[in-house]
Amino acid sequence: MDGPAASGKSSTARSVARRLGFVHVNSGLLYRAITWWALDRGIAGDGPALEAAVPGLDVDFVPAREGFDVSVEGTRPGPGLESPEVTARVSAVSTLPAVRDVVLERLRRAGRRHEIVCDGRDIGTAVFPGADLKIFLVAEAGERSRRRLRQRGTPFTDEDVERETRRLEARDRLDRSRPLSPLRRAPDAIEIDTTAMSPDQVVDAILELAAAAFR
Ligand code: CDP
């Protein structure tokens, strides 16, 4: 399952996985964990240092109560993965080939060991080109920022929505324009525009497609 920032991939993938009895694998968590670690070490802006350090980095999915959490160098950053600092840097860190290599390897290993629903930006194009079912989730940018702000649970103004929209669009631009595994719909992915759909409607639509794909 791929799509732009805050298009609902993670929550949808989690529900679909639960309903299918599969495991949800959120690839963005690995990019966020590497970014969190790099910020902690003060090398998040230093491409060469990061490229040198990442191949030996102890970063992977670890079993959690439901699905997977991630651990980096023995620490589970938890909510730290969603901090504004990590979110602001993660797309730049994700452009580095060494970073993408490490994440690709971890994702494919999870895919060999489990039946998974995996979400990200390049899952259908680069990570699992032979996936049984590929979904590309989209939604209008304003709606995506309202959903993200609602998720935070605090009141927000129209200006907050505009600011969040600018942030999401900047991240999407970086994710779409990088040379390596850019955000793109795979030719055989089914696009679902969720702008006017409820979360349950999206999940049901995907379960129907899964039932047909697995028949
Ligand atoms: O949840 P949200 O849409 O905000 O983002 P995420 O899935 O946590 O991913 C964070 C960032 O990681 C993205 O903006 C991409 O820069 C990068 N990413 C990627 O390059 N490839 C993936 N398969 C998943 C995430």
pLDDT in tens, the chain (215 residues): 999 999 999 999 999 999 999 999 999 999 999 999 999 999 999 999 999 999 999 999 998 887 899 999 999 999 999 999 999 999 999 999 999 999 999 999 999 999 999 999 999 999 999 999 999 999 999 999 999 999 889 999 999 999 999 999 999 999 999 999 999 999 999 999 999 999 999 999 999 999 999 88
Q: 5 CA distance to ligand 1 centroid (A)?
A: 7
CA 165 to chain centre: 18
Say what the pLDDT of residue 214 is.
84
Say what the pLDDT of residue 67 is.
81
Output the six-digit token pair for 149: 């702000």
Among 19, 31, 24, 9, which Cα is nearest to 101's?
Answer: 31
Say what the pLDDT of residue 43 is.
96
Asked whether 33 lines ligand 1 (CB < 6 A), one says no
Q: 26 CA distance to ligand 1 centroid (A)?
A: 9
Q: Identify whether the C-beta of residue 49 lies closer than 8 Å to the C-beta of residue 98.
A: no
CA-CA-CA-CA torsion sign (107, 112, 114, 118): positive
**pTM score, two decimals?**
0.94
The whole-angstrom separation of Cα 211 and Cα 215 is: 6
Q: 117 CA distance to ligand 1 centroid (A)?
A: 15
